[in-house]
Amino acid sequence: MILHILNRPPSTSLVYREALAAMGSTDRLLLIEDGVLGALTSQVRHFQQVGDRLFALREDLVARGLDGQCDASVQVVDVDGFVTLTEEADKTVSWF
């Protein structure tokens, strides 16, 4: 399993398309920094194919005043959860 880490939202960058194209069926996608904007209901449709393997970093949501505003399909993790995701992955790929 690969953990893909994306720091750009679909509203300002198309790099998410490359990340999705590179993802395998068991890979996970973590939204960080401005990428957490993609976890909002208005943008999460871009990640529909990821299903229950979509995560957003809580600290970045809080920093942007978005805590509690994620779509229900997104799993919110804190920094410890981020560490766990990286430990469970065979490797990580960052998309910027």
Structural tokens at position 18: 């490359």
- Cα separation, 96 vs 6, in Å, equals 6
pLDDT by residue (tens digit) across 29-88? 999 999 999 999 999 999 999 999 999 999 999 999 999 999 999 999 999 999 999 999
pLDDT recorded at residue 15 = 97
* pTM > 0.85: yes or no: yes
Q: Give the pLDDT band (50/70/90) at residue 10.
A: very high
Token match 């068991």: residue? 26
pLDDT recorded at residue 81 = 98
Strand, coil or helix: 31: strand
